[in-house]
A = this chain, B = another copy of it.
Amino acid sequence: MKKTVSMLFVFFVLLNCGELTRKPNERSENTSSENPKEAQVNEFAIVIHGGAGTILKENLSDEKEAEYRAKLEEAIRVGYTILEEGGTSLDAVEKTINVLEDSPLFNAGKGAVFTNAETNELDASIMDGSNLNAGASAGTKTVKNPINLARKIMENSPHVMMAGDGAETYAKEQGLELVSPEYFYVENRMQSLKRVKEKDAQKESDNASAFYDATIKDSKFGTVGCVALDKNGNLAAGTSTGGMTNKRYGRIGDVPIIGAGNYANNATCAISGTGWGEFFIRATVAHDISALIEYKGVSLKEAANEVIQKKVPALGGDGGIIAVDKYGNMEMNFNTAGMYRAAMNDKGELVIGIFKE
């Protein structure tokens, strides 16, 4: 029954938004909800990111770069195979993110950064574009794969967002794999925390100015995400992170905030963000990109440029997004020096990127 509701939702929203997404020269393309395949670029597609920031060639050894490229390819091929075999975009997103969460290379799951208290507090969210259902968890310390908890919250609870000990309790009730906090210990993450703490200390304990210091900002962020379009035309988006190195006060960033760091809507697109979370929340980045497409009728690329190249920098923030729209158009857009990323279309063509090209 829920599926019927979802399909009705898709059909009528497509019908409805054909009006909105029409540009004069696209009339035949975007209003053909009776035959949307006319405008279809890819029957299915998947895009992933492993964080954006000051990622420069000179700071990355050839070995390290090869490691990142290999892990990005391993992850995206997991989701691609699911989509190619007719699986759901939700499964593709979850399983792809699991690979990234289980790698110490990225600030999510195993590689989560340390808080000021030398703990690891993870956030994640997932959204189903077919029915706008969503799940998010914040500040969990023992859940091995937070994206799995986000999905359980979405599918098995009446809630969208759970935080802290309560979220851990729910994870246990749902039978998710829990690990001891030591599982998340990664030596270079601890070194990053020590460096950031030293630099913060130099700022005469002026938390704000230390936070805004560009020299330490980049070492603080990073996250992973995946967006996918499946053969049934359903979009899904997922994002998972360890948050911000040296975070205090139970800080929650944009990742578990639906509409900020993550959003999916079959009427428009699926988006996952990475970057300076506070600015992504203030700019409601993910929903703003979707709204530009739905109400202004611009393309995914135009919408992403508007928000990532103009609105976020105008506020003083930085970062990037990955996205795929209902037509299978893929987008990887960032205003930082680099973003770990990969994309695959329905022909199996793979693109992997790290630096600005």
Contact = CB atoms under 8 A, between A and B. Distances in A.
A177 interface: no
A88 interface: no
Nearest to A20: B19
A281 B258 contact: yes
5 contacts: A158-B208, A161-B281, A167-B249, A287-B287, A295-B295
Contact of A8 (B1, B6, B211): B6
Interface in A86-116: none
Interface string A330-341: 000000000000
B287 A291 contact: yes
B164 A250 contact: yes
Contacts of A157: 207-208, 249
B166 A251 contact: yes
Contacts of A16: 13, 16-17, 20
Contacts of A165: 250
Contact of A163 (B17, B252, B277, B284): B252
A42 B88 CA distance: 51
Contacts of A251: 159, 161-162, 166
A132 B3 CA distance: 17
Given A12-B10, A13-B12, A291-B295, A163 B134 contact: no
Q: Which 5 A-B pairs have the closest CB atoms?
A: A166-B250, A291-B291, A158-B211, A295-B295, A166-B249
A347 interface: no
Nearest to A292: B295
A294 B296 CA distance: 9
Contacts of A296: 20, 295-296
Interface string A276-294: 0110011110011001101
Contact of A132 (B156, B158, B283, B287): B283
B10 A10 contact: no
Interface string A134-177: 10001100000000000000001111111111110110000000
A10 B13 contact: no
Nearest to A315: B132
Interface string A260-280: 100100000000000001100
A346 to B, nearest CB: 29
B281 A160 contact: yes
A295 B30 CA distance: 14
Most buried by B among A21, A132, A156, A263: A132
Given A9-B12, A259-B259, A282 B133 contact: yes
A260 B263 CA distance: 13
A64 to B, nearest CB: 30
Contacts of A249: 157, 159, 162, 166-167, 169-170
